[in-house]
Amino acid sequence: MMKELLKKLTEVYGPSGNEEVIRDVIRQEIEGFVDEMRVDTLGNLIAIRRGRGKKVMLAAHMDQIGFMVTHIDEKGFLRFTRVGGISVGNSINRRVIFKNGVTGVISYEGEITDIRDIKFERMYIDIGASGQQQAESMVSIGDVAVYHSTFSENSGRYVGKAMDDRAGCALLIETAKRLQSSPHEIYFVFTVQEELGVRGAKTAAYALDPDIGIAVDVTLTGDTPKSRPMAVKLGGGPAIKVRDVSMLAHPRVRSLMVSRAQEAGIPYQMEILETGGTDAGAIHLTREGIPSGVLSIPCRYVHSDSEMVDASDMENGVKLMLHILEGEIEI
């Protein structure tokens, strides 16, 4: 079931550069549904379904944003730097957890009178240590913490940390499990270090040299009070990207996705994202260029400890990906 899979994936530790644990979980989930699997030098998990048609690369990133310890002061408080796109407003008074299970609270020096005035360098993590010596026995310089929150579900809406992009990973896993047959050679690529600049996708695409690339990632929505206007909402179906900061979706890939959705009667939305990018930004610039697109999962509160996606969008995303893979692809 998608709910159980998504809960399992979002609750696993895996910030950029530390994807080993989440990679093992995904490997166990997808084993038996692909012909072979390997881990490349950078750490991407590449799962292959052999075929004679087009070489199709599907990419979803495993990593999540985090907080890397840079200094431990004499009182045992931790200073840190960002691993990925951390928002100060989303982080104050939030709980975090390290790989070894140590938990802490992100706080701030002094009183906060206006959230816009928060300075990142004045934030710290309190792990409850009595002093520097005890703190150093609990964590080390270079250790990375991630948001510490639990998964929940209300009325078909899933809430939890790391939906970006464990939701995309879940969609690809479910696609691999349900795919009965395809004429194509399909590379299910679970990438590393997307949050640091789509690094894993860049090396994987170069090695695989696919005929077409499709990234699966979350996108913002415009359906909350006073949100920035955007023609994407929760429950409206998966979103087919037109453009983001890193790419213009290839018109033939975009048309393929739209036509398959229309043929199958799958609801979809067209997406223009004015901030951020995805693995497709690296894939489409690989070698001589690879026609690429993005299947997006609408998500509220991205890069927070409580990201929200819709169950029907996830299910319809899987259905659309299956319809894309089961038919002929002319690019």
**211 Cβ partners below 8 Å, 6+ apart?**
54, 55, 56, 290, 291, 329, 331
User: Do 25 and 115 fall into the same domain?
Assistant: no
The CATH number assigned to the domain holding 112 equals 2.40.30.40
Does residue 155 fall inside a structural domain?
no
Q: What is the pTM of this model?
A: 0.95
User: Do 196 and 293 fall into the same domain?
Assistant: yes
User: Do 246 and 266 fall into the same domain?
Assistant: yes
Which residue, 121, 147, 173, sits at the end of a domain? 147
User: Do 98 and 191 fall into the same domain?
Assistant: no
Question: Given a cut of 90, is residue 87 above it in pLDDT?
Answer: no
Question: Given a cut of 90, is residue 218 above it in pLDDT?
Answer: yes
Fill in the DSSP letter of residue 154.
Answer: E
Does residue 30 fall inside a structural domain?
yes
* 78, 92, 145, 187 from 45: Cα distances, Å: 32, 33, 23, 10
- Segment 126-142 shows an average pLDDT of 97
pLDDT at 60: 98
The CATH number assigned to the domain holding 167 equals 3.40.630.10
- Of 174, 194, 271, 307, catalytic: 194
Does residue 152 fall inside a structural domain?
no
End-to-end CA distance of the chain: 33
Pairing of strands 292-298, 239-243: antiparallel
Predicted confidence band of residue 302 (pLDDT cuts 50, 70, 90): very high
pLDDT at 304: 95
Place of tokens 């969609």: 171
* 87, 98, 229 from 13: Cα distances, Å: 19, 8, 33
Pairing of strands 292-298, 212-219: parallel
- Per the structure, the count of domains in the chain is 2
Reply yes or no on whether 111 is catalytic: no
Rounded Cα distance between 182 and 53, Å, is 8
Range of the domain at 51: 2-64+161-326
Which residue, 147, 181, 197, sits at the end of a domain? 147
pLDDT at 88: 85
